[in-house]
Amino acid sequence: MDMISREELRNLLEVRNDPCISLYMPVAARGQDTRQNPIRFKNLLNMAEKKNPDGRGRRVRELLEPARRLLDDTPFWQHQNEGLAVFSSPGLFLTYRLPVRFPELVLVQERFDVKPLLPYLSMDRVFHVLALSRKNPRFLECSRHNCRNLAPKGMPTGLEEIGEEYEFQRRTTVHGGPQGGGGDRGAAAYHGQGFGKEDEKIFLSGYLRRIQRVVEPVLARGNTPLILVGLDPLPSLYREVNSYPHLLDEAVCRSPREMGDDELHQAAWTVAEPLFSRARTEMENRYASLAGTGNTSRDLAEIFPAARWGRVESLLVAVGRVVWGRVSPDGAAVEIHETEQPGDTDLLGMAAVYALEKGAQVFPVPPDKMPGGADAAAVFRY
């Protein structure tokens, strides 16, 4: 199974090429008739070649060559999930096997359509786990269904590794120890040979600061929640050296040394899941409280330019819906069509993309749960 990191999503959002091909399809899993998967995929490729409003057929065929090679890739089809997403543009070809049953969709336009990914991104929101122990600390990137050990460069392997970096010669001299072999003596002292509580705190804080300097540049690429796993005093001391604003107050108070990566992942999810669920509920309540004040809208013709120019604070999008239409040259107005016409784009998908690019929260909602049955509902920043 694959997962999409925030950085990968950002890269998809930033692609501006003509054409950008987005393909989505549901996948039959093991125990079902999996022989239909490559057949269904081939039909989607044929549909993509026919979407040729501007005479781009030859170029589209060339971009679909890597996808066509997958038709005979037996291992690829043997390791599927519930849904398959494929993105192809000049110089880029990506596939994602995800735990979301996508409706079939083929789009050929100037940018990728990530709207079908929104259920996955909502269900599988990314969070990070920092497992603190005196030996082999770990830094994980996780979602509801996935977890990977990032093993960032420079992560210390434990307290012993950094002992030589501190001036234990001076410290052991102050405490009456020998001046020679300071690094080894200091490390030994830490393990109970006259190392005082204040010295231990300084030593541990230095160790945790080293970890903090390694993980925070990774965290700075987004705004994902960070969950600590460990036994005091390590989590408490880490909070003192931390500068990352999205470190959660709640931690998992267990020893990571006794837990594998999967167990760390599941333990941290119990902290992350209520946070993700609460965010959507709060947005829906905020929309309801502001309705009628001019700070909300269910009109996609109003929401689209607002999303493009960064006015949207949060956005609800109806799952599975596509709204076809065209955008005016200045991006200030849209023309909505009941059915797809040559040159159309998915306005609902583009609105979601713009909102994400401008830092808005975007939540997929079942159509029957949308306010007033609308395709989109937005809360504006101003």
Q: Which residue has the higher pLDDT, 196 or 281?
A: 281
pLDDT computed for residue 56 by the predictor: 66
In the chain, the percentage of residues whose pLDDT exceeds 90 is 49
Instruction: Concatenate the DSSP letters of all residues of 124-149 into one string.
Output: T--EEEEE--SB--EEEEE-SS-EEE
pLDDT computed for residue 170 by the predictor: 40
Q: Which of 183-187, 203-207, 233-237 has the lowest mean pLDDT?
A: 183-187
* Structural domains in the chain (count): 3
pLDDT computed for residue 301 by the predictor: 95
Specify whether 160 is located in the same domain as 52: no
Residue 81 sits at the vertex; the CA angle it makes with 80 and 86, to the nearest 5 degrees, is: 75
Q: Which of 248, 276, 304 delimits the end of a domain?
A: 276
Specify whether 358 is located in the same domain as 314: yes
Q: Which residue has the higher pLDDT, 237 or 19?
A: 237
Res 30 pLDDT > 90: no
Instruction: Provide the CATH number for the domain around residue 299.
Output: 3.30.1330.30
Specify whether 319 is located in the same domain as 361: yes
Within a domain: residue 121? Answer: no
Unique residue bearing structure tokens 């609460």: 278
pLDDT computed for residue 166 by the predictor: 55
Specify whether 32 is located in the same domain as 100: yes
Within a domain: residue 283? Answer: no
b/e burial code for range 132-144 (CB count within 10 A of at least 16 → b): bbbeebbbbbbbb
Containing structural domain, residue 304: 291-380
Burial (CB count <10 Å: 0-12, 13-18, 19+), residue 292: exposed
Q: Which of 244, 276, 308 delimits the end of a domain?
A: 276
Q: Say what the pTM is.
A: 0.56
pLDDT computed for residue 321 by the predictor: 86
- Predicted confidence (pLDDT) per residue in 39-78, tens digit: 999 999 999 988 765 666 678 999 999 999 999 999 999 8
Specify whether 97 is located in the same domain as 138: no
Specify whether 92 is located in the same domain as 138: no
pLDDT computed for residue 119 by the predictor: 66
Specify whether 107 is located in the same domain as 181: no
pLDDT computed for residue 342 by the predictor: 78
Q: How far apart are CA 324 and CA 322, in angstroms?
A: 6
Within a domain: residue 315? Answer: yes
Decide: 203 and 159 in contact? Cβ < 8 Å.
yes
Encoding tokens for residue 2? 């694959």
- E-assigned strands of 183-251? 226-229
Confidence class of residue 160 from pLDDT cuts 50, 70 and 90?
confident
Specify whether 12 is located in the same domain as 64: yes
Specify whether 209 is located in the same domain as 75: no
Specify whether 271 is located in the same domain as 355: no
Instruction: Provide the CATH number for the domain around residue 226.
Output: 3.30.420
Range with the largest mean pLDDT of 98-112, 146-160, 176-190, 238-252: 238-252
- Predicted confidence (pLDDT) per residue in 277-319, tens digit: 888 888 889 999 999 999 999 999 999 999 999 999 999 999 8
pLDDT computed for residue 188 by the predictor: 39
Within a domain: residue 364? Answer: yes
Specify whether 135 is located in the same domain as 260: yes
Instruction: Quickly count: other Cβ atoms within 10 Å of residue 197's Cβ.
Output: 8
In the chain, the percentage of residues whose pLDDT exceeds 70 is 85
Instruction: Provide the CATH number for the domain around residue 30.
Output: 3.30.960.10
Confidence class of residue 255 from pLDDT cuts 50, 70 and 90?
very high
Average pLDDT, the chain: 84
Res 225 pLDDT > 50: yes
Q: Which residue has the higher pLDDT, 188 or 243?
A: 243
pLDDT computed for residue 120 by the predictor: 67
Within a domain: residue 284? Answer: no
Specify whether 74 is located in the same domain as 152: no
Within a domain: residue 285? Answer: no
Residues 77-81 have a mean pLDDT of 85
pLDDT computed for residue 182 by the predictor: 36
